[in-house]
């Protein structure tokens, strides 16, 4: 702390003496490229263990962590295998990375407590981490394990389960990213052709099990950004609402059971790979989602990225917020499971409810225009008393067939009694 205070004091002295001046161009360029952030400490406190790598560090923010050192040996092996197949010497790759070093450094939000790395150390780290990812992609997605023994724990065809299970966790962490520019540079160190699409493909296939398809003009900044762009969680179709005076965003959508009690029926949206939400005629259509134990880490990191990156849309944060409103208890989860909307791969419905109630803690949320109409109509549907009365009548009297039969019998008896009364009155008049 004393060293930090001395540094701050010296910085102020330098400002007073005119040695430090505002450089608007340099400042603007810094924030133009910044895309890899240090998670705020309060989010770490809320979600302990969800932002820190378990096995491998990528980039400078966790570089040198003692518990991640065993994987450094495997990174060095990956580099040797990469160079063994390459047409270029190590110097060619280091010079290519050096040419874009300024851009690579600008991608990181460097915390004050992290010492700035010297250029050789930074470039060596980018080379090792980039080659590690390329070799990982070659031996997993492309299933090309040539050069590695069958029992290689990381790159072999019979790799250890501990690595396979934890790999995806580390790849989706916001603090554990390297720019895709690193992969582009290593794929074409001489700049003979653009490798933006190939780097995007490598990033995509490292996480998703299916093969990459063209993303048109979309280009990710790092692995997590690629996953944010390609996950069904973030694909909300644009809708023309024509809605006036929408409900304020702070108003909560009723839970699934509350909506059901108000007469809302649940259906799965047509399966086209997008998060299609609609509410019309008392039917709420929701997209089919699979909830797995790894979902929490992915959602937390991608929501943090959406909220820390300037001018970033918030599709996943908005969907998670809506699902959190719909799910309060295990009964809400069970209702959505029974409706075919949620496939629960957790141990219980209670775990899914706790997941959605937990991931929103500490996060900031704002309105997504594509969900505004659905949210507003759901809230207003539950405000109308006739909808509540109709739903209560149906739930009370029309659920059980014997209750329906008894109700019809009672109605028939009432009609017969009225007819008998009318007949008696008419007979008396005559």
Of 169, 175, 163, 177, nearest in space to 223 by CA: 177
Q: Are 149 and 155 in contact (CB under 8 A)?
A: no
Residue with tokens 């003979």: 192
Predicted local distance difference test score (pLDDT) of residue 218: 66
Closest CA to 362 of 90, 139, 39: 39
pLDDT of residue 393: 39
Closest CA to 221 of 178, 264, 191, 256: 178
Q: Is the dihedral of CA 380, 385, 386, 392 positive or negative?
A: positive
Q: Mutual orientation of helices 196-207 and 180-187 as an angle, nearest 10°?
A: 120
pTM of the entire predicted model: 0.82
pLDDT at position 110:
86
Total count of residues recorded for the chain? 430
What's the Cα-to-Cα distance from 316 to each of 89, 224, 233, 235, 399, rounded to whole Å?
43, 13, 6, 8, 37
User: Quick one: pLDDT at residue 29?
Assistant: 63
Beta bridge partners, 342, equal 289
| Per-position pLDDT tens, the chain of length 430 | 555 666 667 768 777 777 777 767 666 666 678 999 999 999 999 998 899 999 999 999 999 999 999 999 999 999 999 999 998 999 999 999 999 999 999 999 988 788 889 999 999 999 999 999 999 999 998 899 999 999 999 999 888 777 777 888 999 999 999 999 999 999 999 988 878 889 999 999 998 877 777 665 567 899 999 998 888 777 776 665 556 677 777 788 999 999 998 889 999 988 666 678 888 888 999 888 899 988 999 999 999 999 999 878 788 888 899 999 999 999 999 999 999 999 999 999 999 999 999 999 988 877 777 788 888 888 888 876 444 434 443 444 445 565 556 556 666 677 777 777 777 776 767 6
Instruction: Give dist(CA 360, CA 383) in Å, integer.
Output: 26
Contact 59, 182 (CB under 8 A): no
């Amino acid at each position: 702390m004393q060293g930090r205070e001395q540094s701050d004091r010296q910085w102020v002295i330098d400002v007073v003496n005119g040695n430090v001046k505002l450089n608007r161009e340099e400042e603007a360029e810094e924030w133009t490229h910044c895309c890899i952030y240090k998670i705020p400490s309060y989010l770490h406190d809320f979600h302990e263990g969800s932002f820190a790598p378990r096995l491998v560090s990528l980039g400078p923010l966790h570089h040198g962590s003692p518990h991640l050192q065993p994987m450094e040996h495997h990174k060095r092996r990956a580099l040797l295998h990469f160079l063994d197949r390459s047409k270029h010497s190590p110097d060619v790759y280091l010079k290519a990375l050096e040419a874009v070093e300024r851009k690579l450094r600008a991608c990181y939000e460097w915390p004050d407590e992290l010492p700035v790395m010297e250029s050789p150390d930074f470039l060596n780290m980018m080379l090792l981490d980039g080659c590690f990812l390329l070799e990982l992609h070659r031996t997993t997605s492309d299933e090309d394990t040539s050069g590695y023994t069958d029992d290689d724990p990381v790159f072999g065809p019979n790799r250890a389960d501990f690595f396979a299970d934890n790999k995806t966790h580390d790849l989706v962490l916001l603090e554990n990213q390297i720019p895709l520019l690193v992969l582009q540079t290593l794929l074409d160190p001489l700049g003979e052709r653009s490798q933006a699409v190939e780097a995007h493909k490598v990033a995509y296939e490292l996480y998703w099990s299916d093969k990459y398809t063209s993303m048109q003009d979309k280009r990710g900044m790092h692995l997590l950004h690629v996953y944010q762009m390609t996950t069904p969680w973030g694909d909300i179709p644009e809708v023309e609402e024509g809605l006036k005076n929408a409900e304020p965003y702070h108003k909560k959508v009723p839970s699934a059971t509350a909506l059901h009690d108000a007469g809302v029926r649940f259906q799965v949206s047509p399966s086209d790979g997008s998060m299609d939400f609609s509410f019309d005629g008392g039917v709420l259509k929701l997209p089919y989602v699979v909830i797995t134990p790894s979902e929490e880490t992915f959602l937390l990191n991608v929501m943090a990225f959406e909220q820390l990156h300037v001018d970033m849309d918030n599709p996943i944060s908005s969907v998670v917020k809506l699902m959190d409103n719909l799910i309060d208890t295990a009964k809400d989860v069970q209702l959505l499971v029974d409706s075919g909307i949620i496939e629960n791969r957790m141990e219980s419905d209670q775990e899914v409810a706790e997941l959605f109630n937990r991931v929103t803690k500490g996060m900031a949320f704002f309105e997504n225009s594509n969900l505004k109409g659905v949210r507003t109509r759901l809230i207003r549907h539950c405000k109308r008393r006739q909808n509540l009365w109709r739903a209560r009548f149906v739930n009370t009297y029309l659920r059980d067939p014997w209750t329906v039969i008894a109700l019809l019998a009672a109605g028939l008896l009432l009609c017969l009694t009225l007819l008998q009364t009318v007949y008696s009155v008419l007979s008396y008049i005559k």
